[in-house]
Amino acid sequence: MARYDHLPIYRSAMKLAVHLETVVRGFPRYVKYTLGSEMRLKSQQAVALIIKANGRRDKRETLVLLRDELEQLLVQARICQETGGFRSFASFATTVELVGQVVRQAEGWLKASGARGAPEPQGTSPAGVR
């Protein structure tokens, strides 16, 4: 398996996961066990997808999945902020900034790997070329 602990995106995703573990601990009970646990899981899945992408030759599909997971995490964080889950605006802002960091790095990795946008559905070819 390829080394991944040297990757800046891995370090950023780990920082996000650790941050969410700490922040969710202070959420009100209901939010902690609903949105909080989902946010923690999404951040852990993001780390796992980074490890998976690093070990693959074709990273495109995995990086698109990573981008989708992070977008869902961002939506959950916004809902959590609106419902009073975050104890302070600063912890919400830090969460959004950390998610944004990982998204930017994932987009850069996606571009560097020569892939743009969502993967094409199986069985189709560009411009009808076979």
Provide the domain count of the chain.
1
pLDDT average, residue stretch 110-118? 70
Residue 94 lies in a domain: yes
Asked, for residue 18, whether it belongs to a domain, the answer is yes
What is residue 96's predicted lDDT score, i.e. its pLDDT? 97
Mean pLDDT for the chain?
Answer: 88
Residue 122 within a domain: no
Give the model's pLDDT for residue 114.
76
2: pLDDT confidence band, cut at 50, 70 and 90? low
CB pairs under 8 A, 24+ apart, for 40-47? 42/69, 42/70, 42/72, 42/73, 42/76, 43/13, 43/16, 43/17, 43/73, 44/17, 45/69, 46/13, 46/16, 46/17, 46/70, 46/73, 46/102, 47/10, 47/13, 47/14, 47/17
Question: Does residue 125 fall inside a structural domain?
Answer: no
Q: Quick check: is 90 in a domain?
A: yes
Region 13-22: what's the mean pLDDT?
97
Residue 124: predicted pLDDT: 47
pTM of the shown model: 0.82
What CATH code is carried by the domain that includes residue 97?
1.20.1440.60
**84 within some domain:** yes
In a domain, 124, yes or no: no
Domain carrying residue 70: 8-113
* Model pLDDT for residues 23-70, shown as the tens digit of each residue: 999 999 999 999 999 999 999 999 999 999 998 888 999 999 999 999
pLDDT bucket at 125, cuts 50 / 70 / 90:
very low
- Let me know if residue 66 belongs to a domain: yes
